[in-house]
């Protein structure tokens, strides 16, 4: 807000009774029944993060088992069927059940705090999205336990994924779980967009929004525009498999390539859906640990937005070997190389920010530096495979596996772990051990490179991906053994962080409100934040509110929100002037029942189409119950 308010300001007096009342108003019910009714954004965000990391652990174990199988030539440890299920599950779980939800989880937890509000715009929808995700994940992993897991790869190409070549339930489960993730990701995306656009603290103009919030906004828009393509493709495939439509069957005029187009129209942006929040995390960490404003805020925002846009024009580079027309292919090569420009802008702004700064090499910063090293290599091989002749050569070899793990682990997982160390004290009130953090980083960094760097060479020597073994004469044995050893070092690295996290809950040093001296609003409240997030909604006058307040010794807040009802301030989209107050709902069971109703429909259709009708009506009834106005109506005036 502008100066006009600062003239006649009163000091705010907090009476302890009012604070207590506020805490009760925003209280989340605990215990077993309570768990099913919670709607507060921090509860839901925390669940997304924890569940996401559990899936990371499970899929990581699958990765290790895959590596164990490949450690030497002609091993029989897994066998071809299991191997197919394992790499499919590994890829699918990592991409859909770990990377996207965990990023959403961080956004759901951190964004409302960063923009200085008390919850998200649609708290119940938020809870609904989480239950859908959880149920989908349980079903998917359950299928592995009973040996019916999907096995047609994480992008599930037809005709392999058609009924003729995959008659089992595995692919049905894959398409169904895609539906779960679509629903859950879309609800989170809409939720984040509206929260970011309407619930920012007064004075937080778009131009002052923290970079992580920008990243979350771009990620959400990308989900909104990318997911529909996969909704359609998975629907078409489900129909082909369940009611004998002919979309992908050549004999009756179907087009298998339609699957690839629709899937990759989503699938390429999906990689950036994971990457972009990570970019936001990196900027956030760099600002805090250099202790000064970032270089090129506007350039960073614009480049994130343009990475988001350009990534929608790149999907065909996953299809260079499908024999598309030459001209089209050249266009997509050019577009694929273009993405290097905004990515370059990011890197240069960060380098400029680090240049000459007094950097504190705390653990979060270390993971960011690790990101630089790894991501640059991943980017280089990316430019290489954007060239069609080269791609034709290495397509479906381990070169690709090396490339995308450099991008995904370097580009997303390293910043993510950095962010975990960074926000952990906010989440829990305690710091993780710095010493263990450094051990974890170095083990993971070395282990990562030992695992994945040799894969470039294996790929160039022709070792195909997705093949469960190889003969000794091929001469790939030594590199594979090295890679497998590396993967255990890598896993140990992540394991140290896991232990560190659990240990810190009991023994970690108490953090206080702002242990890193960071400038953004989430650090303006206690750690962990109270049920209402902020005692008063803060007001903001620059990009670095906490640093301003330290200098001036005073700050302004919003007053006049109710203590006995969940209320947040609505502000205008561009310049965040307050325009109203919104009442938010209390904890309720209906999101959970709706999620169960929807899941029963989704899962049921695998066995019979009638479950679609049943699910439809069940969802309808639960939604009516959910939105039915609660008496007394007068209350909300």
* CB of residue 535 to ligand HEM, shortest distance in Å: 38
**What is the rounded CA–CA span in Å between residue 482 and residue 479?**
5
> Residue 70's closest CA among 79, 61, 59?
79
| 591: phi then psi, degrees, rounded to nearest 5 | -55, -40
Which of the ranges 45-53, 233-241, 304-312, 494-502 carries the binding residues for another protein, by CB under 8 A?
233-241
Considering only residues 48, 87, 109, 266, which one is a binding residue for ligand HEM as defined by CB under 6 A? 87
**DSSP per-residue letters across 459-507:** HHTTPBSS-S---GGG--HHHHHHHHHHHHHHHHHHHHHHHHHHHHHHH
Locate 277 and state its tokens.
Answer: 């929040």
| 568: phi then psi, degrees, rounded to nearest 5 | -135, 160
Residues 65-84 as x/- pattern, contact with ligand HEM by CB under 6 A = -xx-----------------
> Residue 283's closest CA among 394, 158, 372, 190?
372
Q: Where are the beta strands (DSSP E) in 244-325?
A: none
* CB of residue 66 to ligand HEM, shortest distance in Å: 5
CA 399 distance to own-chain centroid: 25
Which of the ranges 34-42, 110-118, 220-228, 477-485 carries the binding residues for another protein, by CB under 8 A?
220-228
> Residue 271's closest CA among 217, 318, 205?
318
- HSE (side-chain half, CA atoms, 13 Å) at 190: 13
Q: 233 and 175 in contact (C-beta within 8 Å)?
A: no
268 binds, among ligand HEM, another protein, Cu ion, none (CB under 5 to 8 A by kind): Cu ion
* CB of residue 486 to ligand HEM, shortest distance in Å: 8
* CB of residue 208 to ligand HEM, shortest distance in Å: 32
Regarding 232 and contact with another protein (CB under 8 A), the answer is yes
Q: 417 and 367 in contact (C-beta within 8 Å)?
A: yes
> Residue 289's closest CA among 450, 518, 497?
518
Locate 542 and state its tokens.
Answer: 């620059």
Residues near Cu ion (CB under 5 A), total? 1
Locate 293 and state its tokens.
Answer: 């404003």
Residues 225-264 as x/- pattern, contact with Cu ion by CB under 5 A = ----------------------------------------
Among positions 99-138, residues that touch another protein (CB under 8 A) are 121-122, 125
Enter the DSSP assignment of 406. I
Regarding 208 and contact with another protein (CB under 8 A), the answer is no
Given the complex with ligand HEM, which of 127 and 490 has the nearer CB atom?
A: 490
Question: For the chain, how big is the Rg over CA atoms in Å?
Answer: 25
First to last CA, the chain: 27
Given the complex with Cu ion, which of 274 and 618 has the nearer CB atom?
A: 274
Among positions 452-471, residues that touch ligand HEM (CB under 6 A) are 465-466
Pairing of strands 567-571, 578-583: antiparallel
Considering only residues 34, 344, 580, 609, which one is a binding residue for another protein as defined by CB under 8 A? 580
Given the complex with ligand HEM, which of 466 and 630 has the nearer CB atom?
A: 466
Regarding 410 and contact with ligand HEM (CB under 6 A), the answer is no
Q: 569 forms bridges with which residues in the sheet?
A: 581
Regarding 480 and contact with ligand HEM (CB under 6 A), the answer is no
Residue with tokens 């004999």: 251
Given the complex with Cu ion, which of 9 and 321 has the nearer CB atom?
A: 321
* CB of residue 394 to Cu ion, shortest distance in Å: 14
Considering only residues 490, 511, 546, 605, which one is a binding residue for ligand HEM as defined by CB under 6 A? 490
Regarding 394 and contact with ligand HEM (CB under 6 A), the answer is no
Residues 148-187 as x/- pattern, contact with another protein by CB under 8 A = --------------------------------------x-
* CB of residue 192 to Cu ion, shortest distance in Å: 24
Residue with tokens 């939604």: 623
**What is the rounded CA–CA span in Å between residue 411 and residue 276?**
9
Give the helix ranges, DSSP H, for 71-99. 80-92
Residue with tokens 């988001």: 308
Given the complex with ligand HEM, which of 104 and 567 has the nearer CB atom?
A: 104
H-run or E-run covering 68:
helix 41-70
Among positions 110-169, residues that touch ligand HEM (CB under 6 A) are 153-154
Residues near ligand HEM (CB under 6 A), total? 24
Locate 495 and state its tokens.
Answer: 């394991």
Which of the ranges 186-194, 267-275, 442-450, 551-559 carries the binding residues for Cu ion, by CB under 5 A?
267-275
302 binds, among another protein, ligand HEM, Cu ion, none (CB under 5 to 8 A by kind): none
66 binds, among another protein, ligand HEM, Cu ion, none (CB under 5 to 8 A by kind): ligand HEM
Residue with tokens 């502000």: 571
Q: 143 and 150 in contact (C-beta within 8 Å)?
A: yes
Considering only residues 124, 268, 426, 543, which one is a binding residue for Cu ion as defined by CB under 5 A? 268
Regarding 255 and contact with another protein (CB under 8 A), the answer is yes
Task: Kindly list the residues in this chain that would bind ligand HEM in the complex (CB under 6 A).
Answer: 60, 63-64, 66-67, 87-88, 90-91, 94-95, 99, 153-154, 401, 405, 408-409, 413, 451, 465-466, 487, 490
Task: Kindly list the residues in this chain that would bind Cu ion in the complex (CB under 5 A).
Answer: 268
């Amino acid at each position: 807000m502008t100066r006009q308010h600062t003239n006649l300001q009163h000091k705010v007096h907090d009476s302890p009774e009012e604070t207590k009342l506020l805490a009760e108003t925003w209280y989340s019910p605990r215990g077993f029944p309570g768990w099913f009714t919670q709607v507060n954004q921090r509860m839901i965000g925390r669940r997304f993060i924890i569940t996401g990391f559990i899936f990371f652990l499970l899929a990581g174990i699958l990765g290790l088992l895959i590596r164990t199988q490949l450690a030497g030539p002609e091993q029989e440890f897994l066998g071809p069927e299991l191997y197919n299920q394992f790499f499919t599950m590994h890829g699918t779980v990592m991409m859909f059940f770990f990377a996207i939800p965990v990023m959403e989880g961080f956004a759901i937890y951190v964004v409302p705090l960063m923009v200085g509000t008390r919850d998200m715009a649609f708290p119940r929808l938020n809870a609904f999205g989480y239950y859908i995700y959880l149920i989908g994940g349980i079903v998917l992993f359950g299928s592995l336990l009973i040996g019916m897991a999907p096995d047609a790869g994480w992008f599930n190409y037809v005709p392999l994924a058609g009924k003729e070549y995959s008659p089992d339930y595995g692919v049905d489960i894959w398409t169904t779980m895609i539906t779960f993730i679509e629903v859950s990701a879309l609800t989170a995306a809409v939720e984040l967009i509206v929260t970011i656009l309407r619930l920012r603290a007064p004075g937080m103009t778009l131009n002052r929004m923290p970079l992580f919030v920008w990243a979350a906004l771009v990620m959400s828009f990308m989900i909104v525009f990318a997911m529909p393509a996969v909704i359609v493709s998975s629907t078409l495939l489900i129909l082909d498999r369940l009611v004998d439509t002919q979309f992908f069957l050549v004999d009756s005029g179907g087009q298998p390539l339609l699957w690839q187009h629709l899937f990759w129209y989503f699938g390429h942006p999906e990689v950036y859906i994971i990457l972009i929040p990570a970019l936001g995390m990196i900027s956030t960490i760099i600002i805090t640990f250099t202790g000064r404003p970032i270089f090129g805020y506007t350039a960073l925002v614009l480049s994130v937005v343009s990475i988001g846009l350009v990534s929608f024009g790149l999907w065909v580079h996953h299809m260079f070997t499908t024999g598309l027309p030459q001209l089209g292919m050249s266009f997509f090569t050019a577009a694929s190389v273009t993405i290097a420009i905004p990515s370059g802008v990011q890197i240069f702004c960060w380098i400029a920010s680090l240049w000459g700064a007094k950097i504190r090499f705390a653990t979060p910063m270390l993971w960011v530096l690790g990101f630089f090293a790894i991501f640059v290599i991943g980017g280089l091989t990316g430019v290489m495979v954007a060239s069609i002749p080269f791609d034709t050569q290495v397509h479906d070899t381990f070169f690709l596996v090396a490339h995308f793990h450099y991008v995904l682990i370097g580009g997303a997982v390293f910043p993510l772990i950095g962010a975990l160390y960074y926000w952990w004290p906010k989440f829990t009130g305690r710091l993780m051990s710095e010493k263990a953090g450094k051990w974890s980083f170095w083990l993971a960094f070395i282990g990562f490179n030992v695992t994945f760097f040799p894969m470039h060479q294996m790929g160039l020597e022709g070792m195909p991906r997705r093949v469960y073994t190889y003969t000794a004469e091929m001469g790939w044995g030594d590199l594979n053994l090295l890679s497998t050893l590396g993967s255990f070092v890598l896993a140990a690295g992540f394991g140290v962080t896991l232990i560190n996290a659990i240990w810190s809950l009991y023994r970690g040093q108490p953090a206080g409100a702002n242990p890193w001296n960071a400038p953004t609003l989430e650090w303006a409240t206690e750690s962990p934040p109270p049920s209402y997030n902020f005692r008063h909604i803060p007001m903001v006058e620059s990009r670095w509110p906490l640093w301003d307040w330290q200098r001036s010794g005073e700050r302004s807040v919003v007053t006049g929100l109710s203590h006995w009802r969940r209320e947040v301030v609505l502000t205008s989209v561009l310049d965040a002037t307050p325009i109203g107050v919104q009442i938010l709902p209390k904890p309720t069971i209906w999101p959970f029942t709706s999620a169960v109703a929807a899941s029963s429909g989704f899962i049921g259709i695998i066995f019979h189409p009638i479950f679609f009708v049943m699910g439809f009506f069940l969802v309808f009834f639960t939604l009516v119950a959910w939105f039915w106005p609660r008496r007394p109506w007068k209350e909300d005036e």
